[in-house]
A and B are shown apart, each in its own frame.
Chain A
Amino acid sequence: MSEAEITKLKLEIAGLKSENTQLREKIAGVEKGREEYLQNVSHQLVAPLNAMKWHIENLREARVSVTRAKKVLSSIYAQATIAVHLAKNFKLMSNLEADHALHKLKEPLQDVNLRSLLVNLVNDFQPLAWDKNIKIYVDDNRFDKEPSVLAMKPLISQVFSNIIENAVKYSDSDTNIQFRGQYLQASDSFSVSIINSGINLDPEHSSKVFDRGFRSAKAIQKYPAGTGFGLYIAKRIVEIHEGTIKASTDKRMVVFEVILPVKALEGKARLRG
């Protein structure tokens, strides 16, 4: 082997070594991110369960009056709602991370009446919202009763529970969170708006809030703990349903609008049939 060939080989080896080091660093970075994510997930899931334990201990040791006990039970219910909600989010997150196609999510398509679905969600989240004296309601006068949309109900439910949880977290105390719904005949779709007042979105963040893991500086300042996955999951599910989601803000009013086609998935339902 000539001198020139040896030099060339040495250079190639050096290049491969450097590439190898870079890959190792990249893997270590991914692994660190994954560990941090899992730690965050575990903390988020454990916190409401621990809060429930403290409440239950007070009930068991009769440290609260009968009247107060009702409020304590309501708080336990609120924490259970959060725990279930978060567990569902993390399950969905692993599905979405693997970029599963619609048919792999394995949820049956069904006619979903968004008004009924939201009334149930509001009832679930209201005890949590009372902590800040926030009233959540579906505006009867501004919510069309029909039509239903063809969708994967548990997933659509998670879209709105993520938006509600977000709204409760970042709304000012003593305010309202209201839902309005309208059938859009021209596009044969249904629009749901969620309106709350609190931390306003910077205009440049109105689309970023749906990015995976994004949390604005203002949001972190107010609530240091959080994953920044809720709205990302919401967006992914809406897109799977061929719908749109957007956020807008005006002074301290924040509006999230979800538009879902009424029958977009009909063909796919038949295919799966």
Chain B
Amino acid sequence: MAKKTVLLIDDEQSFLEPLSDALESEGYRILKARTAKEAFAFLETEHIDLVTIDIMMDPGNAWEGDVDSHKTGLYLCEEIRETWPNIDAFCISVVSDMKIIKQIESLGIRFLRKGETPLRTVLNMLRSRLTGIAYSTERDQKDLRGRS
């Protein structure tokens, strides 16, 4: 069976690297995009099973005209939901603006606080979505509750 592919969209190498290491250790194929433009290039040409999206990042001329780079990920979420509705998506960001978070969650995209959510929890949630096997360890649930 072919490896499942995860697209990580984040301009911060410091978070991209450990997340990529963790997913690779589980045998997933990882693609990395550091701008929205790079992300679209992958989305249009590769088979992707799951995508993680940062919010504050360089749009990299993905759209015409000026784009507020503080909301690049929000625009990405909207476009991914519209054009690639079958791709599972998570938003992993440090943004704490509840208005933006609610907009993202209203698209059916789960929001995880980057860095503050333990990597183990992030990994379990992504794995669960990729394998279709639900997980529910008490420890991870506690971690999630602890984030807010």
Contact = CB atoms under 8 A, between A and B. Distances in A.
18 contacts: A50-B114, A50-B115, A51-B12, A53-B118, A54-B119, A57-B118, A58-B18, A63-B21, A63-B22, A75-B14, A78-B14, A79-B14, A131-B14, A221-B58, A221-B59, A222-B58, A222-B69, A224-B70
Given A47-B94, A51-B12, A51-B14, A58 B22 contact: yes
B46 interface: no
A58 B115 contact: no
Q: Please tell me the size bucket of the interface on A.
A: 20 to 34
Contact of B69 (A50, A131, A224): A224
B18 A57 contact: yes
Nearest to B120: A57
Chain A CB within 10 A, most for which of B11, B116, B119, B120: B119
Nearest to B116: A50
Nearest to A49: B115
B131 interface: no
A46 B115 contact: yes
B72 to A, nearest CB: 8
Contacts, number: 72
B69 A51 contact: no
A208 interface: no
A68 B13 CA distance: 15
B17 interface: yes
Contacts of B59: 221
A223 interface: yes
A225 B115 contact: no
Contacts of B57: 224
Given A51-B15, A63-B21, A72-B17, 11 more contacts: A51-B115, A54-B119, A57-B22, A58-B18, A64-B25, A75-B17, A132-B13, A221-B59, A222-B58, A222-B69, A225-B56
Interface string A226-266: 00000000000000000000000000000000000000000
Interface in A20-71: 43, 46-51, 53-55, 57-58, 61, 63-64, 68
Interface in B1-37: 11-15, 17-19, 21-22, 25
Scoring B14, B25, B69, B118 by chain A CB atoms within 10 A of each residue's CB, the highest score goes to B14
Contacts of A78: 14
A43 B58 CA distance: 18
A220 interface: yes
A63 B25 contact: yes
Contacts of A50: 15, 114-116
A58 B67 CA distance: 35
Nearest to B14: A51
A68 B21 contact: yes
A54 B58 contact: no
B13 A131 contact: yes
Contacts of B56: 224-225
Residue with the greatest number of chain A CB neighbours at <10 A, chosen from B18, B69, B72:
B18
A78 B11 CA distance: 16
Nearest to B15: A51
